[in-house]
Amino acid sequence: MLSAYQKQLVQNSFKKVAPIADDAAAIFYAKLFEYDPKLKALFKSDLRSQGKKLMMTLGIAVKGLDNLDELVPVLEQLARKHIDYGVSVDDYTPVGNALLYTLKTGLGDDFTPECRKAWVITFKAIADVMRTAAYPCFDPTTYKNVKYYHK
């Protein structure tokens, strides 16, 4: 569960990343494809425009931490769309780790251990909501990553 302080850490750190959104998106996709080169095949459109969508979606999710009742249905719908794109239950792991790497790179010293922990909790909660919506057999209490990457 994300505390009020952790939510504030996530929201404030994302505000610092927003001005470098294009660079952050480029870092994210480079690291994502390094972690799992097979994921590149899932992206049919220009990565620059995809990066803008990514940052916009992250912004919505981060702002939505203030109202989870509104955020959860948005995440569930997004998850179901991702099935059509070919996203598997295990693909969320390299995405989360690429996001952490991007934040670490983009925020530098501002990406403190407590900020990182707040983002880990946030991404896990988002991924659990999305996985549960998209994959009926998904159980966050028993799921084991088969794609484990971190830096």
User: Which amino acid does the sequence have at 20?
Assistant: I
pLDDT at 144: 84
CA 114 from chain centre, in angstroms, equals 17
Q: What is the pTM of this model?
A: 0.92
pLDDT in tens, 60-100: 999 999 999 999 999 999 999 999 999 999 999 999 999 99
Decide if pLDDT at 148 tops 70. Answer: no
Task: Report H helices in 1-151.
Answer: 4-17, 21-35, 47-64, 68-85, 92-107, 113-134
The CA–CA distances, whole Å, from 104 to 73, 93, 117, 130 equal: 29, 17, 12, 24
The CA–CA distances, whole Å, from 98 to 11, 68, 136, 139 equal: 18, 24, 25, 23
3-state SS, residue 64: helix
- Band of pLDDT at residue 30, cut at 50, 70 and 90: very high
Whose CA is closest to 17, among 46, 50, 56?
56
